[in-house]
Amino acid sequence: MTDIIRLNKNARMSQTVIYNGIIHLSGQVDTTGKTTAEQTKAILANIDALLEQSGSDKSRILQATIWLNDVADFDEMNSVWDAWVDPENPPARACGECKLALDGLKVEILITAAVGA
């Protein structure tokens, strides 16, 4: 049986769950940035750090799900995403609009990646 590893956890959730060579990150948000671009940049930096902590990197991302509070911000988010994503190893990706949990949030990104950098 493969162990389940849970990192950066509290009573409600884990920021990272690793099972069977797959890294599952919880939805990442940023509460400091005012614009969609600022929030996206901070979220992607946090994703880089969480993947590094898990023994991986953005070239190993399998899937990304991106939620925007307003789909009108799609191009602004993509301008940051496109500069960050590994062009040789782009993940499967979905992006949609939804009401996010906290006022002021503009972006939430969920990532699934493979272990091993």
Task: Express each pLDDT in 21-79 by its tens digit.
Answer: 999 999 999 999 899 999 999 999 999 999 999 999 999 999 999 999 999 999 999 99
Q: Is 36 exposed, middle or buried (0-12, 13-18, 19+ CB in 10 A)?
A: buried
Structural domains of the chain, count = 1
CATH number for the domain including 46? 3.30.1330.40
Its domain, for residue 56, covers: 5-114
Angle, alpha carbons 69-75-76 (nearest 5°): 70
Query: Is there a contact between 59 and 32 (Cβ–Cβ < 8 Å)?
Result: no
Neighbours of 112 (CB within 10 A): 16
User: Buried b / exposed e across 40-76, counting CB within 10 Å, b at 16+?
Assistant: bbbbbebbeebbeebebbbebbeebbbbbbeeebbeb
Tell me the mean pLDDT in the region 92-99: 97
d(CA 107, CA 40): 7
What is the SS3 assignment for 52?
helix
Q: What is the pTM of this model?
A: 0.94
pLDDT of residue 1: 60
